[in-house]
Homo-oligomer: A and B are copies of this chain.
Amino acid sequence: MTQTEQEGMAPALEISAWINTTPLILSELRGKVVIIHAFQMLCPGCVTHGIPQASAIHELYKNEDVQVIGLHSVFEHHKVMTKEALSVFIGEYGIRFPIAIDRPSEPSSIPTTMALYQMRGTPTLIMLDKQGYLRLNHFGHMSDLQVGSCIGRLLAENNEALPL
């Protein structure tokens, strides 16, 4: 599995607006596995693979201790990937999971959370364990089998054996 593992607690998300939810705070999600899908609405790999995968995770685990968050981390073409455009995209694509807009960081083109997590581009898949530690920070596509396996491992940590 190609991935970047980083030590320590995941930094707080720096968010300028939330869609589909009231604001979520990582430190209040202890006890849940947190899946952050960083994307751009005009990134083909995100639209074709990443968003459908994040939606599938959201649907599969919505009654379990998993929180999916879409993070709109715009680092190029800022004028056309606005909040208004993102809202249309979310509506047209029928996305139901919480979406956070990564806080711009002028004069840098890289938004704040993207910089904090040292992401290399979009799509990036980030996973936090139930204690809030950063456990996966992966740039590019991962297969559903790999993603499911990572989530399963994180769900099983610090638990008695679970029903599958």
Contact = CB atoms under 8 A, between A and B. Distances in A.
Nearest to A94: B44
A65 B137 CA distance: 24
Interface stretch (A13-21, A101-109, A111-119, A145-153): A145-153
A156 B146 contact: no
Interface string A80-94: 111011001100111
B164 A150 contact: yes
B135 A164 contact: yes
Nearest to A84: B80
Contact of A149 (B5, B43, B148, B161): B148
A146 B60 contact: yes
B79 A163 contact: no
A42 interface: yes
A34 interface: no
Nearest to A150: B164
A148 B150 CA distance: 8
Contacts of A84: 79-80
Contacts of A42: 85, 88-89, 92
A27 interface: no
A143 B151 CA distance: 14
Contacts of A153: 152-153, 155-156, 162, 164
Nearest to A163: B5
A60 B148 CA distance: 12
A161 B157 contact: yes
A9 interface: no
Contacts of A88: 42, 77, 80-81
